[in-house]
Each structure stands twice: as C-alpha cells, then as structure tokens.
C-alpha cells in the first residue's frame, strides 16, 4: 500500500491520469512489453524466451535477422551479448549469407550460446542506492568486444556490451582493456560518479597508467575522461574467479570495477609505454 500511495501521489502531482480499464491491483508481478516486472526485479517474458529456445537454426538472412531482432531486444539480460553475437551479425553484411555454407561452426556456437543465455532466465534486480555497487567487466578473448555486468550484493542490476570496431580490434591489448573500462564508466556513470570505487584488472600495466610519461592522444583523452571519477587501481590475478573474488569482500563499501581477460599473463606484456602489445 505504501508504494501504491506513492505512485498515486506522483500521478496526482504531475496531473497524469491512469485509465481504469488498464489498471490492475494486488498483483505480485506485471507483464509489460515483453518483460515481467515484480518486486524481485525484471525478467524476460517466458513466452518470448520459449520462442528463442525453440528457434531453429537459420538457413537464410531473413531468418537470421528475425532471430537477432528478438534476442537484441533482450540483450540487457545477456552478459557480453555483442561478443556472443559477433559471428552472427557479421553474416548480416551484404552478400555474406548467400548459401547455407556461410553458416560456420562459429556461427552455430554463437547461436547456441545466445539460446543458452536466454534460457538462464536472468533477473535484473532493482538497485539499492544505500548499498555499494560492483562492476564486473570482461573483455572477450577473441578480441570481438567487451561486456560488463553491474552487480549489487552478488545480484545483477544491468548488463552492457560493446563490439569492437575493425579499428578497435587493432588496438594494443592495453588499449582494448582501457576502452572496456571507458565503456563501462560511460554506460553507468550515473551509478559511479560521486562514489569512490576500485578498478580491478588482471592487466597489470594498467595499474601504472598514472605514471606513464608519454601517452598518445587517444590514451590521453581517455585518461582525461577517467579523471571525472574517484577510483584507484588494483591488480587482480587472472587465475582468480571474479565472482569468487567479489564474494570474499561482502563488506566492501566501494564500487569495484573488475577487468578480466581470458589471457594467461599480463606482466610479460609490459612495454615502455606502459601498455601491452
């Protein structure tokens, strides 16, 4: 009743009117635009996810576009969606999907991975601004892109992902790591600005970024943007599982930005510029 009163007060204050025939009361959850909203958070509509899970392997470009159109609508529920879908989105280019032979094992693996991710029935929980946030950011080992998840008390609040452009795929490892951080900061700046947090990365050269004597223009521009945030660097061993590392710090009153790449070592990649090649 408290929440209902708050909603009605806002409607009255803003002089907005709810249509009685479209109002439902005393419900534990509501279906809205392909989502199910409840006190626990937001999840995908089971009817939509069932359609994705039963989707046959596309044999033509129109079929593939329909699949990507549906799954892209739910990308906010899928960690690293851009990287997962990269082999499929590459087929949507002109003349790329002319015959069934264009459907490679990588395409099938991406198709199956997306269907599996949808089947996980992830719930995006509502943020509690009185609690600390954690940001886990994962750069794809195939260098296709990066993905991030905003976590609070071990529960996902939001996912985001970015596919690297051809130019960005040519960046050094360190620059790709830095770009992944920049994307996360821009995406969730309304959560992170004004809060102290820690940038955790398994890419050790980044922890020395502030002391690098020379930066190119791109790196300097990124560093200038990062100066808006109050954070410190901390190296995280690549052998550690990020989820386990975060769970061991339940009382940490800070936002943790963890950058993890599935690579063996970063220390051996240090160059005179402070970034890996």
Say what the pLDDT of residue 274 is.
46
Comparing C-alpha atoms, which of 131, 69, 49, 58 is closest to residue 99?
A: 58
User: If you average pLDDT over residues 48-61, what whole number do you get?
Assistant: 89
Q: What is the length of the chain? A: 277
User: If you average pLDDT over residues 53-57, what whole number do you get?
Assistant: 91
Residue 86 CB-half CA count within 13 A: 20
Give pLDDT tens digits for 111-157.
Answer: 999 999 888 888 899 888 887 777 665 544 456 777 777 777 778 88
What whole-number distance in Å separates Cα of residue 261 and Cα of residue 191?
Answer: 24
* pLDDT over threshold 90, residue 271: no
CATH number of 125-269: 3.10.20.370
Say what the pLDDT of residue 225 is.
93
pTM of the predicted protein model: 0.66
Looking at the chain, the whole-number percentage of residues with pLDDT higher than 70 is 81
**Boundaries of every domain in the chain:** 2-43, 46-119, 125-269
The CA–CA distances, whole Å, from 228 to 40, 135, 179, 196 equal 33, 17, 16, 11
Comparing C-alpha atoms, which of 122, 130, 135, 242 is closest to residue 199?
A: 135
Say what the pLDDT of residue 108 is.
94
Q: Do domains 46-119 and 125-269 have the same CATH topology?
A: no
* pLDDT over threshold 60, residue 258: no
What whole-number distance in Å separates Cα of residue 54 and Cα of residue 16?
Answer: 41
CATH number of 46-119: 3.30.70
Say what the pLDDT of residue 65 is.
92
Say what the pLDDT of residue 142 is.
53
Say what the pLDDT of residue 137 is.
57
Give pLDDT tens digits for 184-228.
Answer: 889 888 888 888 777 767 777 777 777 777 888 998 899 899 999
């Amino acid at each position: 009743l408290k929440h209902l009163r708050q909603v009605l007060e806002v409607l009255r204050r803003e002089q907005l009117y709810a249509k009685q025939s479209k109002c439902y009361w005393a419900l534990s959850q509501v279906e809205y635009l392909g989502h199910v909203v409840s006190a626990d958070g937001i999840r995908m509509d089971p009817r939509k996810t069932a359609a994705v899970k039963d989707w046959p392997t596309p044999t033509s470009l129109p079929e593939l576009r329909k699949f990507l159109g549906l799954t892209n609508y739910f990308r906010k529920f899928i960690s690293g969606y851009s990287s997962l879908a990269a082999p499929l989105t590459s087929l949507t280019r002109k003349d790329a999907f002319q015959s069934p032979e264009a459907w490679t094992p990588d395409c099938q693996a991406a198709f199956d991975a997306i269907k599996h991710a949808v089947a996980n029935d992830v719930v995006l929980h509502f943020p509690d601004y009185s609690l600390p946030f954690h940001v886990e950011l994962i750069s794809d080992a195939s260098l296709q892109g990066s993905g991030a998840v905003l976590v609070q008390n071990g529960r996902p609040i939001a996912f985001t992902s970015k596919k690297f452009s051809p130019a960005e795929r040519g960046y050094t490892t360190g620059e790709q790591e830095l770009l992944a951080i920049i994307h996360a900061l821009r995406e969730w700046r309304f959560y992170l600005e004004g809060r102290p947090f820690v940038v955790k990365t398994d890419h050790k050269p980044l922890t020395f970024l502030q002391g690098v004597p020379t930066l190119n223009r791109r790196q300097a521009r990124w560093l200038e943007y990062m100066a808006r945030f109050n954070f410190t660097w901390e190296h995280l061993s690549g052998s550690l599982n990020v989820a386990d590392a975060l769970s061991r710090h339940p009382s940490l009153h800070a936002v943790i930005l963890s950058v993890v790449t599935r690579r063996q070592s970063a220390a051996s990649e240090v160059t005179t510029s402070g970034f890996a090649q």
